[in-house]
Amino acid sequence: MMTSAAIDTPVGPLNVTSDGQAIVRLEWVSPAEAAIGSGPSLEIRQHRGEEAEPDDGDPILTEALAQLRAYFDGRLGDFDLPVDFGRISDVARTVLTALAGEVPTGTTITYGELADRSGTGVPARAIGGIMGLNPIPIIVACHRVVAGDGLGGYSGGLPGHELETKRRLLEWENALPQPLF
């Protein structure tokens, strides 16, 4: 059974989904969607504007919300949660797993470096596409993957604010690459 809950963050409202065994999705939702819920599996408990824990007894979802709060409070760097990337290719899974295991908070890696570290043989350009497939951004920190000459792209964040979201997450982690001159 899928359960979800929303959390308000400095980079916008997030909806986190668990299947009871792992976190399977993290996505940005509009403030209106976060307030009223979206879809049959979304279970948002809000009282007087405060987030409440989901009451379905899903400890994975409860822990994910706690870790996200700690991350945005500056008390947590790297997440320690089971994740399930779902139906993606083995190559994409290998690249995302390498990212999660080898690029800690406060650091960045270029698309080419991640291509090399993953051992998959995919070109750097393909890494950007794989980052766009990541169903669990922030927790699996695809925002830490940057171009050799700047930020590169980003598909997370509220519509129209994707690259701004990447910049804000990297600033939050003190990992924003210095401009090249």
In one-letter notation, the amino acid at residue 55 is: D
Active-site position among 81, 139, 142, 170: 142
- Tell me the residue type at 168: R
Per the annotation, the verdict on 49 as an active-site residue is no
Radius of gyration of the chain measured on its C-alpha atoms:
16
Q: How does DSSP assign 86-153, residue by residue?
A: -S--HHHHHHHHHHHHH--TT--EEHHHHHHHHTS---HHHHHHHHHH-SSTTTS-GGGEEBTTB---
CA distance 165 to 167: 5
Number of neighbouring beta carbons within 10 Å of residue 78? 14
Q: Please state, in angstroms and rounded to a whole number, the distance separating the CA atoms of residues 80 and 160.
A: 30
Q: Any idea which residues carry the catalytic annotation?
A: 142
